[in-house]
Structure 1
Amino acid sequence: MDTQLKFKIKNWLENDPDPRTKQELQGLIDANDETELGHRFSGRLVFGTAGLRGVVGAGPMRMNRLVVQQTSAGLGMYLKHQTRDVETRGVVIGYDGRHDSKQFAHDAAAVLTAMGIKVYLTSEVAATPLVAFGVTHFGAAAGIVVTASHNPPEYNGYKVYWGNGAQIIPPHDSGIAACIDRAATQAIVMQELEKTIADNSLTMLEADFYEAYRQGVRTAEILQNHTRPDLVSLSYTAMHGVGAKMAETVLKDAGVTQVYSVATQREPDGDFPTVKFPNPEEKGAMDRVIAEAKKHHTLLACANDPDADRFAVAVRKGEYESKDESAKGEYQMLTGDQVGVLLGHYLLTHAASSQRLTCTTIVSSSLLSKVAASFNATCRTTLTGFKWLTNVGMSEQTDDNRFLFAYEEALGYTVGSMVWDKDGLSALVAFAQLTAELASKGQTIWDRLDEIYREHGFHLNAQVSIALKPETPNIGAYLRNNPPLSIAGKKVLVTDDISSGLRWFEDGHTESIALPASDVLIYQLEGGARVIVRPSGTEPKIKCYYEVVEAMTPTDSLTSVQARAQKVMDGFISAHQLSLPK
């Protein structure tokens, strides 16, 4: 083992406050596992706009107590440089139900209070949107939530909100990262939590804080449509996360009382014993909540992910095609794009004339922008990630055009401006209210989708990661040097190169794009189709997002148009992949 690695390990062992990770590290030393030790100490877990996320374990490349303490010291240092009154405004800290989350949250509080920064610490587990809410509720300088969201059980994370209640964006991420690097070379000072409570530098957030969020949802301007909530029935799962208690409460407040929670997944459990992967998008993750829905014959089967910032729903089939007897009693998952468009359409139908600003991302369906245009509303398109959706929403809104709604295809939705991040709890209420209103007219979710698709076309979206050979040339550079004139037989009408901030039209003229630089190429094709390519600069791999649009004929059903669109999509993807360099 080289001398530098030995020094790093020795220094880590001297500072690690956790006997478990010390023992783990000592085990690797005793086994003389230089490969693993070299990896654990090859750098630091990277802090970015999503904060930290990684496997729990010993060493600076893992999530552990020392990494959390150093990260908190770096964050505190950066906040002191950036925010004049950070000491009194304070930082809100919450945590999910994973095994180490409470300890990590308490460590963060102990470090920040030792730096003279006031802390608001949740007294028990809290959904991620409650922490985002807490930042603006208290006027805090920042927020921290310890969560790995829907990652596997071996993961944990550390997510940071800025004082505006939204996730951090550049340059704060790199600024905080630089301060963390400095803090990692210094001794970490911590304050005993009992002492901080006694001197009022730490406030424990008890039931009244959770009640404040609840009342915020209950009184939200755009969640006041209480049309026949008694007609809605739904099954619900918290997926071993922290959402159940608040989800059931806000639904009850909205008059939705036919709610059947999956008992085996209701309570927080960091082992996630009944799901292979606690992400509602994963195959099999919704099996138990759909089984519960079938048992009670509910209209909906709903889920939050483990930190309750995402929302997923399956809808009972069969009602939209009376001939399809075999489908009755079965449930179909809606895509994130379908939920986003349904919520956007519903909210625009009811919103005040001064609240018409919506946002979506470049890789989400283009359908929301068309729906918004039909309501004479605004739809802004941002880079991928809720940090962009909400920061753009904040910066773009005016008194005459307030923010209403934003979504991304990965099951993230924010309804109104109470929470400037995705919120699976208020989205659940909004979707239940939409379902109730439709039911009061003898209609279903499928009827509303049919209505939207008939007006704007059936939009089908797909995402594909393509692994390429190591010797394949840089895909981004190749596509920029050899711009395609057509893709899968469809003429390229417009090309957006987000890295250069330019939009190229078929006739050769250009215009600028008001988005931060990112290695993304977007091709708008004839017939409304779209291809988005995100190359990897470090490995022979690209991620592609596809959209096809099919007009619905008078004789079409949702089933027939989807089958036709899927056939087009399959050929589209195949032809595009064949066109890429090998």
Structure 2
Amino acid sequence: MSWQDTLKKWTSFATLDEDLLKQLNALSDNEKELEDSFYKNLTFGTGGMRGMLGPGTNRMNIYTVRKAVEGLANYIVKNVKDAENRGVVIAYDSRYMSQEFAVEAARVLGAHKVKTYVFESLRPTPLLSFAVRHLHTAAGIMITASHNPPEYNGFKVYNADGGQVPLEEAAAIIDEVDKVEDELQVNVLEREELESADLLEWIGESVDTAYLKELKTIQKQSAEDQVNIVFTPLHGTAHDLVLEGLAQIGFKNVHVVKEQAQPDPEFSTVASPNPEEHQAFEMAIAQGTEVDADILIGTDPDADRLGVAVKDGQGSYQVLTGNQLGSLLLDFTLAQLEADQLQDGQVVKTIVTTELGRAIASYYGVDTIDTLTGFKFIGEKIKQFESDNRHFLFGYEESYGYLIGDFVRDKDAVQAAVAACEMANYWKAQGKTLLEALDVLYERHGYYLEDMKSLTLKGKDGAEQIAAIMDDIRKQPFEQLAGLKVIAVEDYHSSIRQLPLQESEEDITLPKENVMKFLLEEEAWVCFRPSGTEPKIKSYFGVKTAKSEQSKALVKQLQAEVDDRISKVIDA
């Protein structure tokens, strides 16, 4: 069907949701927006789907959610033993329509006689991962768009292990979703029917309590020196669990940024509710200055990412990068373990995460495993460790995602927030800030420095430009960058690692993905990856030199040459 035919199908649907119909009527004179809303189906990818709210097959609304859940329901009924009775647990964040989408998911599952456990109020993504394992459900659904702008929402699927579904399972679910021919005709039950038939159970406090009990098991230090903490949940879901987690360990000097404490789907005090962005810390920095805080912690709306800021030598606050915080947390975690606990332990990171992590793990005699970008691959590795003699010690990625205790199988900002405060407390007792602790790592392992540049290219035209950029880099690979020769070209789409200087090639054993990585002389590297959830292409850079300024200059030069190449493709 053409997008015009699909639009007509929607507008002529007798029981179309009134709000969506009003929005369509308001767009009647905006052909470009209507085309973008209907020219394709919203992509259900390897972890779920994410998109702008609104009417249309390429938007997040009750009908596209129903279609996705219909596919998931058909998959688990066919493939997961006793799925109807085990059920599906559903959580949601503070975004527009999140609670409504959670209920819609329950209505679809109920029509398949699959029981649902729905949280009575908003909860973090890591708690959803924990709840799947705690309740032994067949699957989990998280309604969230993470740190996207307010006009977005999304839908993430978790399997019975509590991790985001791996590629093979995701492909099977996607196949079932694609078989749903008409999103407007998906069968649903009314909420009252679900409750009376015991197909819908509201949950909350008991799962929180069980999670907090597990959280205490990863405590490394007692809170005796009492660092002064400022916390902002950035209008999201982390407020209660982070405060309770800090309190049960013994931290008392915790100040919450009041203006950002309450859930707000507009995220009205920040340009972006993303702790990766330094502007998200402006209010926390102001409050930290007022109370002389040692550490500022900020979580994104669904509380799976953590950002941290600490004082520099001039008394100002500096926001740590995800690579810096992850390296500090990794070193702190491993340093607290005994030799027998380190034995056969594994650290897991992604291919675009700092190589400093590998150096730190090696220092403690621990192996490091690389995965593709996405925490689902780290969760997969944890599952694999259960069947051999290895065990998980720490996992992280550069985009502010960390995991310490494997009772959760996704990145967990609640765990990381508590651990970061413990770590700051430990280093304060040694007379050091976290920045000074980072210098200790650089002196020990070398000055590793990383950066990432993200280029947003929206809509149909943007998707074509992103594809053109990747195609150009793949067909005409770099031979050198910043005066450094390329010693390996890793194409994760073809699973081939080419070694130009040796005129040979090797297989890449990781799953296929649209990623290109160039390994350079002197331990530098550059990687290109289109985002799977946003209209962006990301360029990653990593270097290692003997000095800070040398590393900064090299990263800057790499970025300039890459920017020039991408600009030429876009302008062509």
2:83 to 81, 86, 89: 86
Q: After the TM superposition, which of the residue ranges 81-90 and 526-535 deviates more from structure 2? A: 526-535
| Deviation readout 1:485-527 (Å, 9 max, x if unpaired) | 4322223333323233233333234332211122333222222
Matched, 1:492 2:486: yes
Partners of 2:526 and 2:541 in 1: CA distance: 5
> Structure 2 matches for 1:181-260, cutoff 5 A?
181-185=178-182, 187-218=185-216, 220=217, 223-260=218-255
Letter in 2 for 1:200: D
CA contact (8 A) 1:47 1:173 kept: no
1:106 to 73, 94, 103: 103
Partners of 1:282 and 1:414 in 2: CA distance: 21
CA contact (8 A) 2:466 2:537 kept: no
Partners of 2:255 and 2:227 in 1: CA distance: 12
> Counterpart of 2:335?
349
Matched, 1:9 2:4: no
With over 3 angstroms needed to count, the CA separation of the structure-2 counterparts of 1:15 and 1:81, relative to structure 1, is farther
| Deviation readout 1:25-54 (Å, 9 max, x if unpaired) | 2333xx444443333221211111231211
**Structure 1 residue 178, shift from structure 2 partner:** 3.1
Partners of 1:415 and 1:345 in 2: CA distance: 12
With over 3 angstroms needed to count, the CA separation of the structure-2 counterparts of 1:448 and 1:196, relative to structure 1, is same
> Counterpart of 1:518?
513
With over 3 angstroms needed to count, the CA separation of the structure-2 counterparts of 1:536 and 1:345, relative to structure 1, is closer
CA RMSD of aligned residues (A): 2.8
With over 3 angstroms needed to count, the CA separation of the structure-2 counterparts of 1:467 and 1:415, relative to structure 1, is closer
CA contact (8 A) 1:229 1:433 kept: no
For structure 2, list consecutive stretches of 5 or more residues without a partner in the other structure.
none
With over 3 angstroms needed to count, the CA separation of the structure-2 counterparts of 1:56 and 1:519, relative to structure 1, is closer
Q: After the TM superposition, which of the residue ranges 526-535 and 357-366 deviates more from structure 2? A: 526-535
Partners of 1:472 and 1:149 in 2: CA distance: 22
Q: After the TM superposition, which of the residue ranges 84-93 and 385-394 deviates more from structure 2? A: 385-394
2:548 to 562, 565, 579: 562
CA contact (8 A) 2:117 2:201 kept: yes
Partners of 1:70 and 1:480 in 2: CA distance: 35
Partners of 1:93 and 1:536 in 2: CA distance: 25
Partners of 1:574 and 1:565 in 2: CA distance: 14
**Structure 1 residue 111, shift from structure 2 partner:** 1.2
Letter in 1 for 2:136: G
**Structure 1 residue 56, shift from structure 2 partner:** 1.1
> Counterpart of 1:163?
160
Q: Secondary structure at the match of 1:312?
A: strand
> Counterpart of 2:415?
426
Partners of 1:175 and 1:303 in 2: CA distance: 36
2:361 to 362, 366, 372: 372
Partners of 2:79 and 2:270 in 1: CA distance: 42
Partners of 1:63 and 1:89 in 2: CA distance: 27
> Counterpart of 1:361?
350
**Structure 1 residue 394, shift from structure 2 partner:** 2.2
CA contact (8 A) 2:342 2:365 kept: no
Partners of 1:247 and 1:153 in 2: CA distance: 23
CA contact (8 A) 1:360 1:406 kept: yes
Q: Larger Cα Rg: Structure 1 or Structure 2?
A: 1
With over 3 angstroms needed to count, the CA separation of the structure-2 counterparts of 1:474 and 1:98, relative to structure 1, is closer
CA contact (8 A) 1:488 1:576 kept: no
**Structure 1 residue 76, shift from structure 2 partner:** 0.5
Partners of 1:476 and 1:57 in 2: CA distance: 30
> Structure 2 matches for 1:77-476, cutoff 5 A?
77-185=74-182, 187-218=185-216, 220=217, 223-318=218-313, 327-328=314-315, 330-351=316-337, 352-354=341-343, 356-396=345-385, 400-465=389-454
Letter in 2 for 1:89: R
Partners of 1:204 and 1:87 in 2: CA distance: 17
Partners of 1:264 and 1:521 in 2: CA distance: 42
**Structure 1 residue 166, shift from structure 2 partner:** 0.8
For structure 1, list consecutive stretches of 5 or more residues without a partner in the other structure.
319-326, 552-560
Q: Secondary structure at the match of 2:234?
A: coil
Q: Secondary structure at the match of 1:531?
A: strand
CA contact (8 A) 1:216 1:418 kept: yes
**Structure 1 residue 128, shift from structure 2 partner:** 0.9
**Structure 1 residue 142, shift from structure 2 partner:** 0.7
| Deviation readout 1:167-224 (Å, 9 max, x if unpaired) | 1232333332332233342732222333323332222113112211121212x2xx23
> Counterpart of 1:555?
none
CA contact (8 A) 2:37 2:57 kept: yes
| Deviation readout 1:520-542 (Å, 9 max, x if unpaired) | 332222222112234799xx996
CA contact (8 A) 2:275 2:281 kept: yes
TM-score when normalising by structure 1: 0.89
TM-score when normalising by structure 2: 0.90
**Structure 1 residue 235, shift from structure 2 partner:** 0.3
Q: Secondary structure at the match of 2:113?
A: coil
| Deviation readout 1:321-354 (Å, 9 max, x if unpaired) | xxxxxx12x1000000001111111111123234
With over 3 angstroms needed to count, the CA separation of the structure-2 counterparts of 1:332 and 1:195, relative to structure 1, is same
Partners of 1:41 and 1:504 in 2: CA distance: 41
Partners of 2:199 and 2:562 in 1: CA distance: 58
**Structure 1 residue 435, shift from structure 2 partner:** 1.3
